[in-house]
Structure formats: structure tokens, C-alpha cells
Structure 1
């Protein structure tokens, strides 16, 4: 009887031990899944206007993001000429996919290094009220040049969140129609490398090393079909030259061409086809 009792006790101990191990594994797995879910959904998306842009510039894009993703947290980050950031609105600490619309007070400043600092300030200010490790960025026109300088100067800063997805809209990387782009007769090879490079473009050639290898980029440009192969301001080859600046460093790179009257430079961010494409790129695969 004593031996039977000892055997039973040993069996019970083994059963309890196995159950404890199973429970521990389940808890660890649940925590890992929750952490992965938080990492996928706690990703803010920043929007930045172009030259002389205002709070209305990216309004339709921001509003559509709010509607299509059921985002409740949409704020404006206003950056003063001195680089001070103030918010209109608050982001809940547990918000999913919040939207931050960056508005630069000095909206005609062509100092791209300074603009990159203002983007950095807006991101850091957002970090004070919302924890995130990755972010998305959508920029129009000169906002893309400013963001390029952000990536060049701060893209590998370990104290800052990493880029997740980027949308370049009407980016002018290597010349404009009414300034120099058309006159240069620029062509691209099969890797997007221009046969002629402006100084601002050459300055960005090392930018690719600052990009995370898992980053994804969508490059949208317009052609108004007037013979200039441009959106009326930026040549298509100038926008498409982004490819060579990124090379094969990142996880994915996609171009999207829009044609017609609504493909005009200042119309692109209000084009419904463009809006739908951007929203699908940013969030459909993340849901």
C-alpha cells in the first residue's frame, strides 16, 4: 500500500509539472503574440506637405486614413520657425495606427537639413506621448526631399524609431520642369540611375545605407499627358530617380503612375485613385 501511495504521488507530481510547463508555454506564446500585434498596430503615420503647404494640403489624405482605418487619434504637429512642436489633439497611449499631420510654419524654407531637423523634432515630440518603435511617412513634393535628408542624417539613429513604410508623392529628386529637369534631358537606366545628376541628388547617394532592410517604399508620380512627361512641375524621371537612391537595400520598392488632369502636381494628393492606393499600401497588409 505504501509503494502504491508513493507511485501515485510521483505520478501526480509529474502530471502537475507537465501542466505547469504547458501553462507557462501558453502564457509566453500569448505574450509574444500580443507584443507582435502591438508592434504591427502601434505604428503612427506622419504626413508632410510640400513647398508652401498648409494644413489643407494633406487634408483629404489624412481624413481618408481616418475613415478607412477607423483611426480615432488624428493630431496636427505644428513646428514653429524655431523648431518648437505643439500639438492640436492628443494620442491615446494605446491608440492603433494614429495619424500625425506635420505642419511647418516656415513652409517655404528650402534648407533641407533644417527641415530634416524639424521632422526629427516632430517625431521626438510624438514619442513623448506615444510609444512606438516604427513609423510610416507620407510626403508630397519638396516634403520628400526634406524626408530624404531626415533619413540621410537620422535614419540609423538608434535612439529614434525605424522607418516602416514610406510613400513618396510627386517627389522631385533630380530636377523640375520649370527649373532644370526638362532642359537636362535626363534619362534613367534599368536601375533608375540618372545619366545626369544634380548636386542635391548626388548628396543623397549614401542615403540608402540609413534605410532599414525591411522598409517598404511606394513611389507615386503623375503625367498630365502634355508631352513633358511630368506632372506639370516635376519630371517623371526626377521622381523615378528615387529607385537608384534606395537600390536593393530595402524589402520592396513599387512605382505607381497616375495620368490625366488629376495627375497634376498639386492635384495628386487629392486624387481618389492616389488616396486609395496609399491607404491600401499602408494598412491593408497590416490588418
Structure 2
């Protein structure tokens, strides 16, 4: 019988996954604040997709207590299903190289969608905590959605169901049960019921898409000018503090 592989001595990493048009700069302000207030440390930048295997840039010392891995899509215009496949390729590489079994994740915009779908397809690592900011679960205003066009039915489901939402629903039975999740949405309070890119209907529709698997979800809606889609994860102090507190129980 082959010897059992020893458990990894590394702490549970937190992956940060940007959205459409995003890149390394998308999470820089959050990472800086996490380092300053929670002692977190970016150990790796993981470049994924583009027809190549994941590339890990950096060094991950064993002693880092709150490691961050920043995920960068080489093609930041790919669709959510492709992004999810690339994420799962990365999770397998992290497991093989570092022996880890679990991870936390923070997503923004389409990165939220990619994380949800990736975890509906039997990923190599088990998700411990998931924080999602401004997720586009039922389309976005620059795609098929329109301001004030969609609304929730009495069943709790959106009246207009787009392909993203349908894909989440189709795989919901595989999504981790009782997963602690933090969902954050933005409302500019300008009458659009949106953060300028995604409507509240879309970004709060994940609960209904996952059906009964949402008993550990905390949902926050932030308001005002700092609730703009990109600003939410970069400049909104309430959002950054909430994510850091949720992932690391730190202020």
C-alpha cells in the first residue's frame, strides 16, 4: 500500500478572483487593507487560461498564517463557464503542488459567477468560506439586462431568467451545502436600483438560484456613490471591512 501523503503544513489560502475586464489591480486596495488590518499576505499571483496551464508567480512560505492567492485571467473577456474551468484547473495545481485541501475565496463581478459555477463541478479543493461582491448571477446591464426590466416573482425567482442563472440552477445540487457565504450588492440610490453595471435583482438572485443551499448566507446591500460596481471592491470601506471580517474574523 502506498504511503499516505502528509497533510499540508500551509494555512488555508484565500483566492481573490476578478471579473470582466479586471486584472491585478482589481483587488490591490483590499489586499493592502487585509495586510494592514488582518496580517494577511499575498503569496502568489496565479495566471490562468489563455490556452496555457496555470502559472504561479511568487513564493508561498509555510509559515504564512493568512495567505492570499490573487487569480488573474489571461483572457479577461472569456465567458463564465470558461472562467470556471480555468479556476478548477488552478485548484488542482494548488492541491498537487502544495497538498492543501481547502480554500477561501473572494469574487467580484463575473468572478463571483465563475466561483459559483466552478464549485458546482466537483473542484479539487473544498471551499470553506465564500465572499461575493456585485455578482452578475442573472446577467448585467452591458449584456442582456435592462434597468427596471426584471423583478422577483412571489416564488423568489427573477421573472426573466438569463443563461447565467439557468446554469447556476442546473448545477445547484452539486454546490456545497451549508457553505458560509457573504453576498454584497450595491445600489447607487439614483433610481436605477443598480450599481451602474448590475441590477439588484441580478446580484441578489443567487439565493433563489441555489434554492435550499442558502441557509448560511449573509446578504448586505450598500448604498450611495461608493456603491458603484468597481468602487465596491476597491474603495468602499464598509465592503472591504466586511469581507476581511468575514474571511479572517478580523477588523
TM-score normalised by structure 1 residue count:
0.77
Distance 1:239 1:189 in 2: 15
Structure scoring higher RCO (CA < 8 A, sep ≥ 6) equals: 2
- Paired position in structure 2 for 1:68: 37
Structure with more strand by fraction: 2
Question: Which residue is equivalent to 2:152?
Answer: 188
> Which of 114, 118, 133 in structure 1 is aligned with 2:101?
133
Shift of 1:221: 0.8
Q: Where does residue 274 of structure 1 map in the other structure?
A: 239
SS at match of 1:220: strand
Distance in 2 (alpha carbons) for counterparts of 1:68 and 1:192: 37
Which stretches of structure 1, 4 residues or longer, exceed 4 Å deviation after superposition?
none
Equivalent residues in 2 for 1:135-284, closer than 5 Å: 135-154=103-122, 157=123, 160-182=124-146, 185-189=149-153, 192-270=156-234, 271-284=236-249
Superposed displacement of residue 173, structure 1: 1.1
Greater helix content: 1
Structure 1 stretches of 5 or more lacking a match?
A: 1-34
In the alignment, is the contact (CA less than 8 A) between 1:152 and 1:206 conserved in 2? Answer: no
Change (3 A) 1:73 1:106: closer
Tell me the C-alpha RMSD between the 2 structures.
2.4
5 Å-filtered alignment, 1:5-24, equals none
For structure 2, the 5+ residue unaligned runs are 1-6
Number of equivalent positions? 244
Q: 1:78 aligns with which of 16, 22, 47?
A: 47
Offset at residue 77 of structure 1 (A)? 0.7
3-state SS of the aligned residue for 1:171?
A: coil
Contact 2:168-2:210 within 8 A present in 1 as well: no
Hey, what does 1:88 align to over in structure 2?
Answer: 57
Offset, 1:165: 1.0
Q: How many angstroms apart in 1 are the aligned matches of 2:71 and 2:155?
A: 32
Larger Cα-atom Rg: 1
TM (norm. structure 2) is 0.87
**Contact 2:119/2:176 (8 A) holds in 1:** no
